[in-house]
Amino acid sequence: MIKPIPNFASEDEERDFWANHDSTEFVDWSNARRLTLRNLKPSTKTISIRLPESLLDELKLLANRRDVPYQSLLKVFLAERVDKELHSR
């Protein structure tokens, strides 16, 4: 018997719920269809970070050479380093 999915007050509450519950109790996966969400953007959070001006200038120079916004390049650099750190141990 399929249980009803509860109503959630926030994304965080829903994320915590699914991290601790098996979806097979709530969803009949035998009727599932594959779906592509082409326009889905990941959730983002605005932060403030202090960088030395020289580092920011160099980042902007590299971004300009690649013809990308410097904040996008910074995200790529951070993601690559985090991935490397997580998978090197």
pLDDT tens track, the chain, 89 positions: 789 999 999 999 999 999 999 999 999 988 888 888 888 888 888 999 999 999 999 999 999 999 999 999 999 999 999 999 999 86
75: CATH: 1.10.1220
Measured CA to CA in angstroms, residue 65 lies from 52, 69, 78 at distances of: 20, 10, 18
Same domain membership, residue 51 and residue 79 = yes
Query: Domains in the chain: how many in total?
Result: 2
Same domain, 21 and 53: no
| pTM exceeds 0.85 for this model | no
What is the b/e burial string over 40-55, where b = at least 16 CB atoms within 10 angstroms of the residue's CB? Answer: eeeeeeeeeeeeeeee
Please indicate, yes or no, if residue 39 is contained in any of the structural domains.
no
85 inside domain: yes
Owning domain of residue 26:
1-34
